[in-house]
DNA sequence: CGTGCGATCGTG
DNA sequence: ACGATCGCACGA
């Protein structure tokens, strides 16, 4: 496996969102590596996107990292309980990012089971196994991604993304983004991308 | 300083 | 369908 370089993240945000599909997200924590294959992602482009936290150049302590160079982690707390992970994209000053919405566990599934259900993997139902990482909050809980990862350089050694040497082919589906009904015209943007027929995609 | 709410999830 | 739960954005 080969770690993605800075240039990967500097590209057009919609392309980066699509190209992240099939890549392996890895978090090194507590002496182990937890990894999942990205199967769903959404683009957020501050300049034109009322759904983006950075819309209208809303530059605060929270969104600051989105205004910087590409290839850093933007982590935020949602509903007071769950963390979500984004990859900052584009040139410095552009305030765009890609939300990682779902993973297919790649390795470290045993630890993921403990982190999500405080149980060994063998005791999970088939349904619980799917629910380990099939949503943006769930995947962060499963991989131990939280506010400590805010601003993490994805070219570093703690949180990074790799390309498999030989990656299985897949088809990409496109749709409107999830839960942004407040975003006026932006709610209809087809900026969600996911791997067709993958069991870990958060919604049909 | 006070207040309303959210790029979600689990339960019913 | 609904409540949990709290940091933060924004207005006063």
Residue-wise pLDDT for A43-86, tens only, equals: 999 999 999 999 999 999 999 999 999 999 999 999 999 999 99
Mean model confidence pLDDT for chain A: 96
Instruction: Work out whether strand A2-3 and strand A172-175 pair parallel, antiparallel, or are unpaired.
Output: unpaired
A50 touches strand B (CB under 7 A): no
Mean per-residue pLDDT, A26-33: 96
A105-122 mean pLDDT: 97
Q: Is the CB of A182 under 7 A from strand C?
A: no
**Domains assigned to chain A:** 2-195 (3.10.300.10)
Residue written as token pair 């087809």: A190
Q: What is the pLDDT of residues A132-187, one digit of tens each?
A: 999 999 999 999 999 999 999 999 999 999 999 998 999 999 999 999 999 999 99
What are the phi and psi torsion angles at A153 (to 5°)?
A: -75, 120
Taking the C1' atom of every nucleotide in all shown strands and the CA of A49, the nearest one is B7
Note the CA–C1' distance, A177 to C3, in angstroms. 24
Give nearest nucleotide to A81 (CA–C1').
Answer: C5
Q: Please state whether strand C lies within 7 Å of residue A158 at its CB atom.
A: no
- Answer for A39: CB within 7 Å of strand B: no
Give the HSE-up count for residue A82: Cα atoms under 13 Å, Cβ half-sphere. 15
pTM over 0.95: yes
Give the span between the Cα atoms of A197 and A204, in whole angstroms. 9
- C-alpha to C-alpha distance for A68 and A90, rounded to whole angstroms: 9
Q: For chain A, what percent of residues have pLDDT higher than 90?
A: 98
pLDDT score for A116: 97
A162 sits within 7 Å of strand B by its CB = no
Per-residue pLDDT at A204 exceeds 90: no
Residue A105 has pLDDT above 90, yes or no: yes
Whether the beta carbon of A36 falls within 7 A of nucleic chain B: the reply is no
């Amino acid at each position: 496996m080969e770690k993605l370089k800075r240039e990967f993240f500097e590209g057009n945000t919609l392309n980066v969102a699509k190209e992240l599909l099939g890549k392996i997200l890895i978090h090194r924590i507590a002496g182990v590596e937890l990894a999942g294959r990205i199967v769903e992602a959404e683009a957020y482009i501050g300049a034109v996107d009322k759904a983006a936290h950075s819309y209208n150049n809303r530059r605060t302590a929270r969104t600051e990292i989105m205004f910087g160079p590409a290839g850093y982690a933007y982590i935020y707390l949602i509903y007071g309980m769950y963390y979500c992970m984004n990859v900052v994209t584009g040139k410095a000053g552009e305030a765009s990012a890609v939300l990682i919405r779902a993973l297919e566990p790649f390795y470290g599934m045993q630890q993921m089971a403990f982190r999500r259900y405080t149980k060994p993997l063998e005791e999970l139902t088939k349904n619980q196994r799917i629910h380990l990482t099939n949503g943006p909050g769930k995947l962060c809980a499963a991989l131990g991604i939280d506010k400590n990862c805010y601003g993490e350089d994805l070219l570093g050694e703690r949180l990074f993304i790799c390309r498999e040497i030989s990656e299985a082919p897949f088809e990409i589906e496109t749709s409107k983004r999830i839960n942004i009904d407040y975003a006026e015209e932006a709610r209809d943007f087809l900026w969600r991308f996911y791997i067709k027929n993958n069991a870990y995609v958060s919604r049909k």
